[in-house]
Amino acid sequence: YLLENIPENHWLTRYPAFPPGDFFLFDSRVNRLRIRVQDEFITRPQLCKRLFKDIIIHRTVRLKQYLWTFITTDQTDNDSNDNSEQNLIAQFRALPLWSQFSASVYRQISKGSIYKNRLSVITQSSFDTFWIAPMLTQGRSLWYRILNQKLPTNQYLSQIGTVNSPSCRLCGHLTDDFDHFLFFCKSKQTVWLSVMDTYFSEIDLSLDDIYHTLISLAKPTKLSILKYNRYLTILSTTQWCIWSYYWRFILSAVPFNPISIIKLIDLHCNILLRTHHLLTDL
């Protein structure tokens, strides 16, 4: 909303949540908006300096035209008792751009309106087991994001303008929604099928059983409660290793190789299960 002519390969596209307040400042002495100068960059100073050069020196990025109204014109009445920053916010909201804002559309995209309901369906006993089950720290954090449905799917990233297409960058599926990103991508399911064969061959588990555990911590009926900790450890480790290789593929073009992923899963699972005396048959 503040900048234009940003090239697709520009470094700023990697920071969609870059706060404007880190770069812009409302100067109450002159009642105008301005870009912070070098000594005023408090947070992310290196990024701010880089953006400053791109706008002022290199001119590879331009400010939106409407911003110049706030930069070149006094925005408050000196006789007014209103706080100048509040006046500035009010003027921003009066712009035609804000007339297009829809709270319902925003909630639909962010799904913030159902945030509390996601965890309310999980039993306290399942949560207790989740917190004490042996897991890699990063694996537990990732799983908690899954329970809150906070995953960077291509469908969501395309809605906020971070990527151009909602399709899966791994298998090419038309829509990379939450379910596909999490579990139903064919490339990822190859790994899950191998894990099922290695660790769960003695019980009749299905892919749906594992999927429902990932999104709700539900224990499969065929699984003993005594083996639930071990089950969570294996699922958490598998999910984290898939996640790790996925982002290596996206960011560094490292091949998404199921054989390499499975070897990493086995390595972490053996350490976790042996350390916590869980190397028993399911």
pLDDT tens per residue across span 214-243: 999 999 998 988 899 999 999 999 999 999
Q: What is the structure's pLDDT at 50?
A: 83
Q: What is the structure's pLDDT at 220?
A: 93
- Model confidence at 150: pLDDT above 70: yes
Q: Which two tokens stand for residue 55?
A: 């706008």
Average model confidence (pLDDT) across the chain: 83
pTM over 0.85: no
Q: What is the structure's pLDDT at 113?
A: 42
- Model confidence at 45: pLDDT above 70: yes
Find which of 154-163, 176-185, 198-207 is predicted with most confidence, using mean pLDDT.
176-185
Q: What is the structure's pLDDT at 258?
A: 96
Find which of 10-14, 32-36, 199-203, 232-236 is predicted with most confidence, using mean pLDDT.
232-236
Mean pLDDT to the nearest integer, 84-107: 69
Q: What is the structure's pLDDT at 111?
A: 57
